[in-house]
Amino acid sequence: MTGIDSLRNVLELERQKGYTDKAVIGGLDKYLHKQAGQIRQSLIPSLNEVKTKELIPQLLSGFDELNLANSNYGSYGVDERKRWMTNVLGWLDQLEKTTKTNSSQKVVVRSQESEVRSQESGVRSQKSEVSSQEPAIRSQESVASSQEPAIRSQESGVSSRERREELDSPVTVIKGITPNVAIKFAKLNVRELRDLLYFFPRRYVDYSRRKLVSELIEGEEQTIIGTIWQARVATLGNRKGTEAIVGDETGNIRVVWFNQPYLAKSFHTNARVVISGTVGLFKGHKVFESPEWELLKDKELIHTGRLVPVYPLTQGLYPRQVRKWTKETVDGYLWQLDDFLPSEIKTRCQLLDLPAAIAQVHYPDDLAMAERARGRLAFDELFLLQLGVLARKRDWQEGQPGNAFHIDQEVINKFLRCLPFTLTQAQERVLQEILTDLKQAKAMSRLLQGEVGSGKTVIATLALLIAAANGYQGALMAPTEVLAEQHYTNICGYLSQVGTQEPGEGTIRRHTGFLSRPLTIALLTGSLSSNEKERLHYKIGQGEVDIIVGTHALIQKEVEFNKLGLAVIDEQHRFGVLQRSALRQKGFNPHVLVMTATPIPRTMALTLYGDLDISVIDELPPGRQVVKTKCLEPQDREKAYSFLHRQVSNGRQAFIICPLVEESEILEAKAATTEYERLSREVFPNLKLGLLHGQMPGNEKEKVMRRFRAGELDILVSTSVVEVGIDVPRASVMMVEGAERFGLSQLHQFRGRVGRDKEQGYCLLISEKLSPEARERLRLMEKVHDGFVLAEKDLELRGPGEFFGTHQSGLPDLKLAKLTDLRSLELVRQEAITLFQSDPNLNKAEHQPLRQQLSRAWSRGAEWS
Ligand code: ADP
Ligand code: MG
């Protein structure tokens, strides 16, 4: 047992014995006089454990002030003894708090002590005055002293509140971070100490490979530890710099720093130095050119000889400074950070503790540790996101019950038998997921994701039929009229293969022979005449229509459903959360199925549409091919046109997409019209061209689309309105003008319009002359055919705000979480669900830190209550 431990035991015993000086034979003073020296020595290993090295001098002087070697305990009265005891134990507490011992054990010990010690609170408050020069310690000390017994017994809770205040301090608390520097940090969203802990390096430079001077190899990043034989200001090229000769037992090497003559002063002869960098050759001799360097003292290396963090910087922030500051923050303040994650989760998911993760993400022992650290921190991001999202879900699910549908397998079989294809496995799986939901007396809330052409509409149609078979209405809402019309046509097409379509008007059709009664399906779009609309509204209200396909017109307040049981929303990233809930409110808590071909990364989907479960059709119908994609510059346009020509003469069709005109559909339509005229006149005078843009009346759009689909047109010149969902089996070329203006996901959507048949599809992306980065981005389209990966790239390059539109902000930051890592997303989600089920309001005492962290993470969105 070390001297300190026995000291504490003796003192505790003395206190238990009522300050009678009977704890040790011969009295406390004699014991202390003899032991003080040894106790002080036994301090050294403990001090090595102190996380904040700066506190060491304070601790030592605090110990000396106690003056144990000359104690006078025996001569005190009981009150004085108590006061003295409190002082000494207070110091021991300080030491304990600043060293890394198992804190959970300590809490137990302390709560026992607290009852005894609480009688002495008056004395302790004096102590807090004394220690006022010691900010880090004092903040805890003063709480302990100013609170009365009841509070003191939950010390850990109280002091964690205090700690947070300290981590909330501005970064200027760190020496060297001036208000001016703080402004620069603010640009990187780093304002408080906590932010600095969470200011993660982008990557690491590996300077961990230490070599002897004789082993140095030209062209590699290496590290040496050596002695400075000489350093001086030298003229290098024609500017002043620093030159040094550094050597170890195997040899010497020249080291130069260009333009940094002031460095020479830092390098004293015989000082030990660590040099990390790439070795070059100069006149046949090896040389380090402007390497990282660090004088070897007893401090941990941060610039050399290890994995060195590379931070994202802004003008006026320099790597060496930033490293020094993050290191100081980690060393000095990290211990104040509560690990808010319940320990079962950490164990189950094999996660690092939070302080370890933060320490390792900045200054990792090795790359594997850096990875683990990132893993833990990414987990946190997603976990907090998930919990917040689950809270939203709870909030609306606690509303009314949903409608349980009876699933008539016969209806399903009848439909499937009549399809000209069999469902893919993925379609089957997703169908079952949906049917399972529909059977519940809880409203379904599901997102159906699937690449373009993966066959979502068939599945949605089946769900709508089930609703109709149950006597409910079903609605399918699409973002554009063209798409609504196409859905309408497709659904009618499927149904007429099953039953008989009665002759009737274009926008309301009756099918018999499928259900025991006629099935009515209607199309409701903004371009209906007001008479037609009114009539349709009336029929919908009377329950005379079973399935209503439409656009935003569906959620207008004039539309009153008789008995809405299922709402399907297609391509939902165009709809905000508001529209979705508007549709929800139209029914008796209808089941909701949201479909998207935009491969929204799953977490994002769960976040923005957090009340949704997710189904993915991750398989295309057999025979589909990757669309060959090529990025072209304006001078290649002629070649592209002749390619189109050849394709058309082989019986194929082509799209030409006109550049996006931000903010103005009218200008965009104008540009498309001009382009259409030019192409018709000058480029393809003998081909049949069509024009499609958002400003055309709905029936005209439909006419053009119908003609294109029927093969009466060879080329469709269009604005981005064809982006979503239009299905033209014979189209084989998608040519996009001004490709650089579109997001990668959007381009991927365009590309999904072609090659839907067994024939090879082609995508030609024409852009203006681009910067290397913009070019690089577009080039991804040639290599990457996975919509999720492209979506992630979009997110990376443009941020979620751009990706989803600005109205969707207010989410917690995702700095490390990989949105494409579905497996870990699933893991996090499961953990969040489990926790949420056990303590939905996070009321349990052990979940308080988590609760606080959650509200911190969501503070911008202010979603958590
Ligand atoms: P999505 O809405 O996911 O883009 P659709 O449902 O419009 O896809 O289907 C695209 C095309 O593929 C349609 O012509 C559809 O009839 C067809 N299709 C759907 N499922 C299959 C399947 N399992 N096998 C073959 N073709 C299919
Ligand atoms: Mg579709």
**pLDDT surpassing 80 at residue 603:** no
Pairwise CA distance, residues 341 & 353, whole Å = 8
From the CA of 619, the nearest ligand is 1
Under the banding of pLDDT at 50, 70 and 90, the label for residue 90 is confident
Ligand 1 centroid to residue 458 C-alpha, Å: 7
Q: Which residues contact 565 (CB under 8 A, 6 or more apart)?
A: 403, 405, 467, 470, 472, 473, 474, 587, 588, 590, 591
Residue with tokens 């507490």: 93
Residue 136, phi then psi, degrees to nearest 5: -60, -45
Q: Which residues contact 172 (CB under 8 A, 6 or more apart)?
A: 178, 179, 181, 182
As given in the structure block, the two tokens for residue 460 are: 């949605």
Closest listed residue to residue 465, CA positions, set 498, 428, 433, 505: 498
Q: Which residues contact 288 (CB under 8 A, 6 or more apart)?
A: 253, 254, 255, 256, 275, 277, 278, 279, 280
Residue 140 CA neighbour count, 13 Å, CB half: 19
State the DSSP string of 616-675.
Answer: EE--PPTT--PPEEEEE-GGGHHHHHHHHHHHHHTT-EEEEEPPP-TT-HHHHHHHHHHH
Pairwise CA distance, residues 830 & 242, whole Å = 57
Instruction: Calculate the CA dihedral of residues 406, 411, 417, 418 and round it to 10 degrees.
Output: -130
Closest listed residue to residue 504, CA positions, set 516, 521, 487, 491: 521
Pairwise CA distance, residues 644 & 650, whole Å = 10
Lowest-pLDDT range, 174-178, 640-644, 758-762, 775-779? 758-762
| CB 329 less than 6 A from any atom of ligand 1 | no
Per DSSP bridges, beta strands 251-257 and 307-310 are unpaired
Closest listed residue to residue 591, CA positions, set 403, 310, 363: 403
| CB 450 less than 6 A from any atom of ligand 1 | yes
Task: Check residue 351 and give its pLDDT.
Answer: 95
Ligand 2 centroid to residue 645 C-alpha, Å: 28
Closest listed residue to residue 508, CA positions, set 461, 460, 540: 540
Under the banding of pLDDT at 50, 70 and 90, the label for residue 121 is very low
Closest listed residue to residue 690, CA positions, set 673, 715, 712: 715
Ligand 1 centroid to residue 862 C-alpha, Å: 41
| CB 621 less than 6 A from any atom of ligand 1 | yes
Residue 323, phi then psi, degrees to nearest 5: -60, -45
Residue 385 CA neighbour count, 13 Å, CB half: 28
**What DSSP character marks residue 353?**
P
17-31, 72-86, 493-507: which is most confident: 72-86
| CB 140 less than 6 A from any atom of ligand 1 | no
Residue 424, phi then psi, degrees to nearest 5: -75, 165
For the chain, the average pLDDT equals 81
Ligand 1 centroid to residue 749 C-alpha, Å: 15
Q: Which residues contact 225 (CB under 8 A, 6 or more apart)?
A: 210, 248, 272, 273, 274, 275, 296, 305
| CB 427 less than 6 A from any atom of ligand 1 | yes
Residue whose Cα lies nearest atom 14 of ligand 1: it is 727
Under the banding of pLDDT at 50, 70 and 90, the label for residue 609 is low
Helix (H) or strand (E) holding 257: strand 251-257
Under the banding of pLDDT at 50, 70 and 90, the label for residue 493 is confident
Helix (H) or strand (E) holding 254: strand 251-257
Taking the CA of residue 423 as reference, the ligand 1 atom at the shortest distance is 23
Pairwise CA distance, residues 660 & 717, whole Å = 13
| CB 330 less than 6 A from any atom of ligand 1 | no
Predicted confidence (pLDDT) per residue in 549-601, tens digit: 998 777 777 788 889 999 998 865 554 554 555 666 666 678 889 888 776 66
Taking the CA of residue 424 as reference, the ligand 1 atom at the shortest distance is 23
| CB 451 less than 6 A from any atom of ligand 1 | no
Pocket test residue of 416, 419, 421, 491 for ligand 1, highest count of atoms within 8 A of CB: 421
Burial class (CB in 10 A: 0-12, 13-18, 19+), 105: exposed
**pLDDT surpassing 80 at residue 59:** no
Under the banding of pLDDT at 50, 70 and 90, the label for residue 504 is low
Closest listed residue to residue 214, CA positions, set 249, 256, 243, 244: 249
Pairwise CA distance, residues 301 & 690, whole Å = 68
Percent of the chain whose predicted confidence (pLDDT) is above 70: 80
Pairwise CA distance, residues 451 & 597, whole Å = 5
Pairwise CA distance, residues 477 & 559, whole Å = 13
Residue whose Cα lies nearest atom 23 of ligand 1: it is 423
Taking the CA of residue 454 as reference, the ligand 1 atom at the shortest distance is 3
Pairwise CA distance, residues 580 & 586, whole Å = 10
Q: Which residues contact 493 (CB under 8 A, 6 or more apart)?
A: none
| CB 423 less than 6 A from any atom of ligand 1 | yes
**What DSSP character marks residue 271?**
-
Lowest-pLDDT range, 248-252, 356-360, 757-761? 757-761
**pLDDT surpassing 70 at residue 136:** no
Strand, helix or coil for residue 524: strand
Under the banding of pLDDT at 50, 70 and 90, the label for residue 468 is very high
From the CA of 448, the nearest ligand is 1
Predicted confidence (pLDDT) per residue in 138-193, tens digit: 333 333 333 333 333 333 443 444 444 588 889 998 989 999 999 999 988 899 99
Residue with tokens 């038998």: 417
Can you name the residues that pair with 295 across neighbouring β-strands?
273
Q: Which residues contact 712 (CB under 8 A, 6 or more apart)?
A: 688
Task: Check residue 690 and give its pLDDT.
Answer: 95
Residue 164 CA neighbour count, 13 Å, CB half: 12
Residue whose Cα lies nearest atom 16 of ligand 1: it is 455
Burial class (CB in 10 A: 0-12, 13-18, 19+), 42: middle
Ligand 1 centroid to residue 617 C-alpha, Å: 11
Ligand 1 centroid to residue 455 C-alpha, Å: 3
Pairwise CA distance, residues 17 & 660, whole Å = 85
Lowest-pLDDT range, 524-528, 679-683, 796-800, 840-844? 796-800
Residue whose Cα lies nearest atom 6 of ligand 1: it is 455
Under the banding of pLDDT at 50, 70 and 90, the label for residue 270 is confident
Pocket test residue of 417, 727, 750 for ligand 1, highest count of atoms within 8 A of CB: 727
**pLDDT surpassing 80 at residue 423:** yes
Q: Is the pTM of this model over 0.85?
A: no
Residue whose Cα lies nearest atom 10 of ligand 1: it is 453
Q: Encode 473-502 in three state secondary structure.
A: EEEEECCCHHHHHHHHHHHHHHHHHHCEEC
| CB 242 less than 6 A from any atom of ligand 1 | no
| CB 454 less than 6 A from any atom of ligand 1 | yes
